[in-house]
Amino acid sequence: MHPQGRATASLHVATAVLTVLACASCTTRPLQGVLVPSSEAVEAVSRVPILIGTTRTRSSGDPGEMFSREPSGEMAFAQVTVSIPPDASRTVGAIQWPVSPPGDPRTDFVTTSADYLDRSGFGAAITTAAKAQHRNKAMVFVHGFNNRFDDAVYRYAQFVHDGRLPVIPVLFSWPSQGAGNLGSYQHDRKVATQSGAALAEFLDAVNANPGIKEITLVCHSMGCLVTLEALRARAVRGGTVSKLKNVALVAPDVAFDEFMGEVREMGPRRPRIGLFLSQDDVALKISKSLAGGTNRLGDINPEEEPYKSALAQQKILVFDLTHVGGDDSHSRAFDSVSTVMGMLERRLAQGQQLSEDASRTAPAR
């Protein structure tokens, strides 16, 4: 076959696989948005309130969507509370989508409240949450590719609930297209790179709240592009987010060399960085092929050179989840309480930052 023909064929294969991977986790997700509050009260469920900042525009067609895929020039704020059924009625680590909204709180993830906030209302909600929950640590989560707004809200609620994380959960949602195709993937990469300034602004808002004493930042997949750009841009301007102590990069869809360059630009005053990777991450191998063979940070072998020495020189803590198991290697960190959730729960409960010992004793089951 002619080289150009082989390249075209490879691109078609990569596109097909990417589509399957991107849609694998959303096959049971209803087409309608699920952020329609239910009035049904069930005592046995758990409720997770999520505070939100987003650069999406408000949805005009679907009341259960709240915010659309379209970008906005201004930050918007919201608060959504998600009801999660008892563990006996669900698969821990998974989102149980309702067949149709609002769903049955006994068996489904269900929205119990969904409110738009202004900037001052967002700050007041953080203060209220800190006092009500007797907590002063916030965890900011940045989602990845192929996420609708409701995807990100429900995934984060699952993450916080299953990890039993003693934090005030805060979500930053950038305008991913929420579609699993090559065009959306390329679009999302561009938008993710452009969203760093907005995330930096959002972190400043959380950092300024007197009720918050410490911030942990967690990003997944393409959301790590947003995160790294925010931290690099803040460092280049000579500033820091003073309360930001730890950054967890989960399955980052970022070129290794790009990551190392941005870390060096952050300088010595950067927060401690933990890298959670899986060497068998199929989604990142497809991303690597789409990026012309550029190695992705989230699926390297951290014991091989030049990765081992480069990561050690920058004091990046590595948590290798390759042998943890699970069907979805790209999202396994969210599927098992023994991985990222369990690690972060222990560190936060002990009032510690991610430690050197933690990186060496990460579970390899």
Question: If you average pLDDT over each of 107-116, 277-286, 356-365, which comes out highest?
Answer: 107-116
Q: Containing domain of residue 309, as a range?
A: 3-360
pLDDT in tens, 127-166: 999 999 999 999 999 999 889 999 999 999 998 998 888 8
In a domain, 337, yes or no: yes
pLDDT in tens, 202-244: 999 999 999 999 999 999 999 999 999 999 988 888 778 999 9
Q: Is residue 99 part of a domain?
A: yes
Burial class (CB in 10 A: 0-12, 13-18, 19+), 295: middle
Phi and psi, residue 336, nearest 5°: -135, 130
Structurally, how many domains does the chain consist of? Answer: 1
CATH number at residue 130: 3.40.50.1820
Q: Which amino acid is at 231?
A: L
* Inside any domain, residue 103: yes
Residue 250 counted as domain residue = yes
Q: What is the pTM of this model?
A: 0.87
Confidence of residue 14 (pLDDT cuts 50, 70, 90): very low
Give residue 186's identity as a one-letter amino acid code: Q
Separation between Cα atoms, residue 40 and residue 350, nearest integer Å: 37
Question: What is the predicted pLDDT for the residue at 91?
Answer: 85
Record the tokens describing residue 194, joined without a space. Answer: 């452009």
pLDDT at 27: 46
**182-194 vs 3-24: helix crossing angle, rounded to 10:** 70
Proportion of the chain above pLDDT 90, given as a percent: 58
Residue 365 forms part of a structural domain: no
Q: In this structure, what DSSP letter does residue 255 have? A: B
Side chain identity, residue 42: V
| DSSP character string of 118-158 | -HHHHHHHHHHHHHHHT--EEEEEE--SS--HHHHHHHHHH
DSSP 3-state helix, strand, coil percentages of the chain (rounded to 5)? 40, 20, 40
Exposure letters 60-89 (e unless 16+ CB within 10 A, then b): eebebbbbbbeeeeebbbbbbbbbbbeeee
Q: Which two tokens stand for residue 258?
A: 């790009």
Residues 90 and 96 sit within 8 Å (Cβ to Cβ): yes
For the chain, report the end-to-end CA distance as a whole number of angstroms: 43
The edge-to-edge listing of strands for the beta sheet with 168-173 is 110-117, 67-84, 46-58, 168-173, 137-142, 214-220, 244-250, 272-277, 317-320
Three-state DSSP class for 92? coil
Query: Each residue of 311-338: pLDDT tens digit?
Result: 999 999 888 888 876 667 777 777 664 4
